[in-house]
Amino acid sequence: MNPARLQQLYATVVFLTSALLLVLEIVAGRLLAPYVGVSLYTWTSIIGVILAGLSLGNWVGGKIADKGAGHTAVGSILLVGSAASIAVLPLLILVAGFIQQQSMSLVSASIAFVLTLFFIPAAILGTVSPLLTTLCLRLDNRPGAVVGRMHALSAIGSIVGTFVTGYWLVQWLGTRTIIMTVSAMLFAMALVFLSNSARGRTLSLAGLTLILVIAVFTYRNQGLASPCEVESNYYCLRVADEKDGFDRLYARTLILDHMVHSTNTIDDPAQLLTPYIHAMDTLVHAQFTDPSQLSYFFAGGGAYTHPRAVRFRYPEAGIVVSEIDPAVTELAAKKLFLNTDDLTIHHADTRTVLQNLADNSFDVMITDVFHDVGIPYHLTTFEYHHLTARKLKPGGLYLLNVVDLFPSNRLVQAMFQTLKQEFRHVGVWIESPPEQETRLTFVLTASDARFDFEQIAAQSGAARTWFNIGEFIEQQAIKYQPPILTDNYAPVERLLGNLLTTDAGK
């Protein structure tokens, strides 16, 4: 092959390996979501570990290049990269159960997953760029132009890999297929460098054998089966059947990433099995004497458990739902017994939807978008609460739920203080306070109308009682001085630090 063609080959491989590394990085977030969720800490672990592997690979690649490595070395590295990439799937099978059984925080578990699965592939792919850049310099006496071109192609490859994976590949192919495709592409590139010599062909055959062994092991151990029924732009979506003692299906549960969202029964839409949804519904009934004519806004559809119950009980009620992910709505309609005919549904960000709705439109507004540690921070801020207050009718009720620790609930304290900037009466509701530190789902209420009760018992469904601990939260807030959350400053991950970094948050 003439020098010009060789340079084109080296440039193409640098571009593709950089793209494939970023493909793996984006896929890592979705692959781990069913086990540790998606948060700032998860992505920090992924990016940090991938960059550490890449840095090590760059250093090793430079060392190999200085020793005169050629095409056989490049092909061998790509071959090992192909095997290491597909090995992510069986490794996930082997380590997931072990890591989840350990007393590890979500942050520690995230780092353990990423180190085990993606550090080695990142390090291997990181050796390719310096090695091929050195080979290219042997063919071109313009070092500045060569190095600049290779660095630019590496960066462009990373950009392309990021956008193509995030916007198209995940929802069209799914994580398992993407990882197998990455492995196949690396193997194909390895053949280009190894096929011209007997030694290279022997290495290729050995590498193919190893890859096939890994693939067969993965297949036999269900490693190619994604836990997700749907991999949307936003979530790994699953539906679990709920059966009674006679093995009869009576309900289905929606699982978003690693968190159980809510459960819908088959025969009785008004039955609210999820405790925090039951609490919200009970609070609405306690605050309004005639709920049948209320107008509702739900930020977050999920399984549509609460909107479905309201529609079943009160056909005349007005119901508007903002659900950013259309795949969630489609799955709820397909498998969770949802009829969308009488619901007004907007598939867009909640703040965008509210901006386009008239003021004084709703009696009840419910924000149910905080999925475990996945907190859309822009829906915690004063600006969002101010927007919500504008859309409420006089005397309207605003409710939202959030997961935090009890009693050291820094995020709940911050949200309580932020709501008090806009609403005269704010409450925080839980069932009986636990005796030791643990994670809870808190329900916050806000209104310009007073609450005439400090505890409330369910009038239907499971026998539950909720207590307003607003005074306790206010005392804690005075002590710890949490920030008022704003669009400019909403450190939700820091406020959830204890939930993410201690065993109590598991």
Q: Identify the residue whose tokens are 């080695």.
A: 120
Q: Identify the residue whose tokens are 């590890």.
A: 104
**326, exposed or middle or buried, with CB in 10 Å at 0-12, 13-18, 19+?**
middle
> In sequence order, which ranges of 394-490 are alpha helices (DSSP H)?
410-420, 470-480
Dihedrals phi, psi of 320, to nearest 5 degrees: -120, 130
- The β-bridge relationship of strands 392-406 and 425-430 is unpaired
The β-bridge partners of 345 are 321
Overall size of the chain counted in residues: 506
**137, exposed or middle or buried, with CB in 10 Å at 0-12, 13-18, 19+?**
middle
Question: Helix, strand, coil proportions of the chain in percent (round to 5)?
Answer: 55, 15, 25
* CB within 8 Å of 44: residues ≥ 6 apart: none
Q: pTM score, two decimals?
A: 0.84
| Tokens, residue 169 | 């590949």
* CB within 8 Å of 65: residues ≥ 6 apart: 130, 131, 133, 134, 135
pLDDT of residue 309: 95
Q: Which amino acid is at 311?
A: R
CATH 1.20.1250 segments of the chain? 3-227
CA distance 495 to 506: 16
User: For residue 291, is the peptide bond before it cis, meaning its omega torsion is within 30 degrees of 0?
Assistant: no
| Domain 3-227 architecture | Up-down Bundle (1.20)
CB 493 within 8 A of CB 485: no
User: Helices 40-66 and 3-36: crossing angle, nearest 10°?
Assistant: 150
Dihedrals phi, psi of 238, to nearest 5 degrees: -140, 155
- Tell me, which fold does domain 268-505 have in CATH? Rossmann fold (3.40.50)
- The β-bridge relationship of strands 465-468 and 425-430 is antiparallel
CATH 3.40.50.150 segments of the chain? 268-505
pLDDT of residue 282: 95
Q: Identify the residue whose tokens are 């193509």.
A: 164
Dihedrals phi, psi of 355, to nearest 5 degrees: -60, -30
Tally Cβ neighbours within 10 Å of residue 13. 23
* CB within 8 Å of 301: residues ≥ 6 apart: 307, 321, 322, 323, 328, 329, 332, 345
Q: Is the dihedral of CA 279, 285, 288, 294 positive or negative?
A: positive
Q: Which amino acid is at 178?
A: I
User: Which among 297, 300, 250, 305 is positioned nearest to 274, based on CA atoms?
Assistant: 305
pLDDT of residue 506: 53
CA distance 140 to 161: 28
CB 149 within 8 A of CB 137: no
CA distance 134 to 282: 69
CB 396 within 8 A of CB 390: no
CA distance 166 to 25: 10
pLDDT of residue 433: 82
User: Which among 461, 402, 463 is positioned nearest to 431, based on CA atoms?
Assistant: 463
Which stretches in the chain have pLDDT values below 70?
Answer: 371-373, 500-506
CA distance 99 to 113: 8
User: Which among 237, 253, 254, 491 is positioned nearest to 375, based on CA atoms?
Assistant: 491
CB 366 within 8 A of CB 412: no
